[in-house]
Amino acid sequence: MIYKILLPSEWARFEAEGRFDGSPLDRRDGYIHCSSRAQVAGTAQRYFGTEPDLVVVAIDAQTMGMWLRWETSSNGGPFPHVYAPLPRAAVVAVHRIAGASSVDEVIPA
């Protein structure tokens, strides 16, 4: 399982369009930034610490096939990077979270 942290507006667009083409940061870097279960809380704090509400989607990594690469990032790693849009069908769970500090309490271990 890999995880993508989204703002509520990004999740609404993901649901409506049936796919997620990435945040501005994702598009700038050329891939969709994701996290493992062990990394997701740290990623939330680092990049979304001031956001009051988040949506964390759990993605079946196997469905991403060759589009998923585990690569070392400047924050350590390896981190899962997806080099294609995320299809809605790959999302196996949706977690609505009240702030980055609650990620570990909400996402199953």
Across residues 18-39, what is the average pLDDT?
A: 96
Q: What is the spatial distance between Cα 5 and Cα 10, in angstroms, rounded to a whole number? A: 9
**Could you read off the pLDDT of 32-88 as tens digits, one per residue?**
999 999 999 999 999 999 999 999 999 999 999 999 999 997 767 799 999 999 999
Cis peptide preceding 8, ω within 30 of 0? no
Specify whether the CB–CB gap between 56 and 49 falls below 8 A.
no
Q: Which residue has the tokens 């994701």?
A: 34
Q: Residue 5 pLDDT > 80, yes or no? A: yes
Sorted by where each starts, the structural domains of the chain and their CATH numbers stand as 2-106 (3.20.170.20)
Specify whether the CB–CB gap between 52 and 42 falls below 8 A.
no
Q: What is residue 109's predicted lDDT score, i.e. its pLDDT?
A: 85
